[in-house]
Amino acid sequence: MLTVERIEDGEVSPYLTDGLRVGDRVELRGPIGGYFVWDARDGGTTAPPLFLAAGGSGIAPLMSMIRHRTSTGNKVPTRLLYSSRSYEEIIYCEELDRLSAHDPTLRVIHTLTRRRPPNWMGYGRRIDRAMLADTAWRPAEKPLAFTCGPTDFVETVATHLGELGYEPGRIKTERFGPTGDGATCRITI
């Protein structure tokens, strides 16, 4: 599954979201790196807990980790803090709700930065140090953290986790440049 956020003046995303049709052939090259990877074989329930922080479409690689965790039956305690502009823009919302409802070792926490539905009970601001102190695992638990999103978001989360006592080598980051207010779609290949 490929998640694409449509950028109005983008070079590729308008084609992928508007032009690509069922049956079209697409050639993809696999991930290049290896730094931003979590493997369920890395310890099972005895492994340190996972803390995942996503900003917008930065949920894509973290969702891959959550799906991998689920498909292997791994129950390492996991928390996802997910920042979206509005409830309607939460990518994978139904799947995250379903997975967390059936797995007490997976906790999903949302914060909505722009618009919130009536009676919203979650956070209603950008992720900050206080929110991380409330939601992240305590440093004594030796958690492994992954954060993905726009550069400023990732830098903020990583800096605050370090200030809270997370070991720098246990904070993995993946970032991307600025985005517009584009639509997001999922393409299954």
Q: How far apart are CA 45 and CA 123, in angstroms?
A: 29
Q: Which residue has the tokens 């797995």?
A: 103
Do 94 and 187 touch, CB atoms closer than 8 A? no
pLDDT one digit per residue (tens) for the chain, 189 residues: 667 777 788 888 888 888 888 888 888 776 665 677 887 776 555 678 999 999 998 999 999 999 999 999 989 999 999 999 999 999 999 999 999 999 999 999 999 999 999 999 999 999 999 999 999 999 999 999 999 999 999 999 999 999 999 999 999 999 876 544 444 444 444
Partner residues linked to 149 by β-bridges? 175
Q: How far apart are CA 13 and CA 20, in angstroms?
A: 10
Instruction: Compute φ and ψ for 110, nearest 5 degrees.
Output: -110, 145
What's domain 47-187's architecture? Answer: 3-Layer(aba) Sandwich (3.40)
Q: Mark 82-115 as b/e (b = at least 16 C-beta within 10 Å).
A: bbbeeeebbbbbeebeebbeeeeebebbbbbbee
Give domain limits for the chain: 47-187
